[in-house]
Chain A
Amino acid sequence: MIAIYKREYRAYFQNMVGSFFLAFLIGFVGVYFVTYNLNYGYNFFAYALSSGLLMMILAVPILTMRSFSEERKSKTDQLLLTSPLKLHAVVVGKYLAMISILAMACLVFCLCPLIIKLQGDAHLKIDYTAILVFFLIGCVYIAVGMFISALTESQIIAAIGTMAALLLIYFWRHLVSLLPSGAGANVVMLLVLLVLVCLIIEAYMQTWAVTLTIGGVGTVALVVAYFAKSASFESLLSTKLANFDIPSILSNISDSYVLTLSSLVLLISLIVIFNFLTLQVMQKRRWS
């Protein structure tokens, strides 16, 4: 794992991608910092970071697009997969290299609250919490990007796919609020979700008996629950899905100085899940 980490880390600076990522992110967050904090004199760095999160949508795909797709295209994955290395060491090694680069940007951001303090009042606790959350959100974005890169051989598709996924995350709150709130509509949406889950199960297990059982039991349970207590289905999806709104974790800190434990758990779980999914994609490809 250390060997992979070292190689990846070095490669990011040899091919300029790492430097470009750092320059881009630090540059734009710097602009927000200068505008909000220095020119307007607003003494929360968290506010600049919260706006800077938008820039991650452009910066992260550049960092993650090559992680697996390039290996696959240039066939260097053959070296890694035929070496005695464990597959998870490859995935984690690459992931750690990418988040180290993000961490470097965050280290630079750590200076900003101190600069504010030099000018007068600063809110160090809030600002440093915001930097930590900014880093964790970045880690989630990078995990998503890595997963998408593992799906394709083309770096361009990986970059565009990641950008689309990150935009979806960014506008999540607004998209979720568009969902219909009626109980009937929610049951229909849940049924559609159930079908999707069943299709994924089928793709993995390839036994229709299991898939149909799960699908059948799920459908019956949903319909029974709907007729028993239809009121509980009202706005069910939009409320539940709103919990997965990631950008608001950061804006909650900058706007209302709140960070909940559940949101930290959400971020860390997403990091673990997308690392795991990347591993699964790599495994699966060897068998198809």
Chain B
Amino acid sequence: MIEVKDLVKKYGNHVALDHLNFTIEKGKVYGLLGANGAGKSTTMNIITGYIGATSGTVLVEGKDVLLEPEETKKRIGYLPEIPPLYTEMTVEEYLSFVMEIKRIAKEIQKKHIEELLDRVKLQEVRQRLIRNLSKGYRQRVGLAQALVGWPAIVILDEPTVGLDPQQIIEIRQLIRDLAKEHTVILSSHILAEVQEVCDHILIIHKGKLIASESTTQMMARVASAQTVELIIEGTEAETAAVLATMPAIDGYQLALEEDGFCRVTIESDYTAGFRRALFKAFAQADLAILQMNAVSNSLEDVFLELMNQPQNAAETAQVKEDVQ
């Protein structure tokens, strides 16, 4: 469906995209994951033809974005990071304008507007000026704009940023519905969101693709990278003594909280079995575990995990610095 080959984008001396390669297949939801400034928006802007790449090609259904822009743009609906709304128009006027510039036949425009308003639940605000709508509604108008003409590919740049939890749930539901008929690419820096909505995850870091895996594979990787947090009723020395008897610990952090409480953070890929062993070890030493949490790692930790793979070892140090 979409082939991105050797994409490079430079802003002056800054390299935003560094030989990016990936393929998007039909009928799946793709999550483009990365920290701020990783190159997610740049990638999307190039695929949609908003900006040009320094080198490399993007093919949409076999057609080059540069050589046949009209053909490729017709197949893509795009919701940029900031919804491109003319705030002095009403929702209905705005959608008819988008239909005109996307060359939707006059006869079906009326019907299509109704479909769109129903789909993104905008019926009750259809006559209102976009200026007066809340952020959530504006986002939906932006989404409706991207869906005009039911394009084969829908590209959404951080579609849930700034929305309240209820709206986030609704938008995610909508995206899942869309996936039944469309190929969806969305970007996000929230791992949980991507995990919930996407079939496939692409991780971009500093303009490079560092992982492209199905969500299940990715989640297995995340689950294995956990941090265990403990609060122990005991002194530092006592706690350290117990931890010393545990054979499988690479390293830990220990801090004295209030009188007689210790907070311990153990980082590594440990499972439920490890937590049981911890419990028993502290029980034997007669130290009470007041609290024990297994915290799933954040996106940055997944980055570290990915970076720690041998082929990327050279960059690891740099990334660690950035994350800290």
Residue positions of A touching B, CB distance < 8 A: 2-4, 6-7, 11, 14-15, 74-86, 286-288
Contact = CB atoms under 8 A, between A and B. Distances in A.
| Central interface residue in B52, B87, B100, B101, by most chain A CB within 10 Å | B101
A15 B103 CA distance: 26
A89 to B, nearest CB: 9
Nearest to A86: B70
B85 interface: yes
Given A15-B88, A75-B84, A3 B49 contact: no
Interface string B70-110: 10011010101010111111000000011011110000000
A83 B73 contact: yes
Given A3-B100, A80-B101, A14 B48 contact: no
A180 B121 CA distance: 70
Contacts of A288: 11
A185 B190 CA distance: 66
Contacts of A75: 80, 82, 84
B88 A11 contact: yes
Contacts of A80: 101
Contacts of B145: 79
A78 B86 contact: no
20 contacts: A2-B100, A6-B97, A11-B86, A75-B82, A76-B86, A77-B84, A78-B84, A79-B84, A79-B98, A81-B50, A82-B49, A82-B78, A83-B102, A84-B73, A84-B101, A84-B102, A84-B103, A85-B101, A286-B51, A288-B11
A180 B213 CA distance: 71
Contacts of B103: 84
Contacts of B102: 83-84
A201 B85 CA distance: 37
A84 B84 contact: no
Contacts of A76: 84-86
Contacts of A85: 101
A6 B85 CA distance: 16
Chain B interface size, under 10 / 10 to 19 / 20 to 34 / 35 or more: 20 to 34
B74 A84 contact: yes
Given A79-B145, A83-B102, A84-B102, A287 B84 contact: no
A178 B87 CA distance: 48
Interface in B31-63: 45, 48-52
Contacts of A83: 73, 98, 101-102
Contacts of A86: 70
Nearest to B103: A84
| Central interface residue in B52, B73, B84, by most chain A CB within 10 Å | B84
Contacts of B89: 7, 11, 14
B76 A3 contact: no
Contact of B50 (A6, A11, A74, A82): A82
A78 B88 contact: no
B155 to A, nearest CB: 9
Q: Which 3 A/B pairs are nearest by Cβ-Cβ distance?
A: A3-B100, A79-B84, A82-B48
Nearest to B11: A288
Interface string B139-165: 000000100000000000000000000
B82 A3 contact: no
Nearest to B87: A74
B44 to A, nearest CB: 10
A76 to B, nearest CB: 4
Given A6-B97, A74-B82, A77-B84, 5 more contacts: A15-B88, A78-B45, A83-B98, A84-B74, A286-B50
Contacts of A81: 49-50
A263 to B, nearest CB: 37
A11 B86 CA distance: 9
B16 to A, nearest CB: 12
A88 to B, nearest CB: 13
Contact of A286 (B52, B80, B101): B52
| Central interface residue in B49, B50, B85, B87, by most chain A CB within 10 Å | B50
A61 B44 CA distance: 35
Given A4-B101, A14-B88, A78 B70 contact: no
B134 to A, nearest CB: 17
Nearest to A2: B100
Contacts of A14: 88-89
Given A78-B84, A83-B102, A287 B52 contact: yes
A286 B65 CA distance: 13
Contacts of B98: 79, 83
A3 B50 contact: no
Nearest to A83: B101
Contact of A78 (B78, B97, B100): B78
A78 B49 contact: no
A6 B96 CA distance: 12
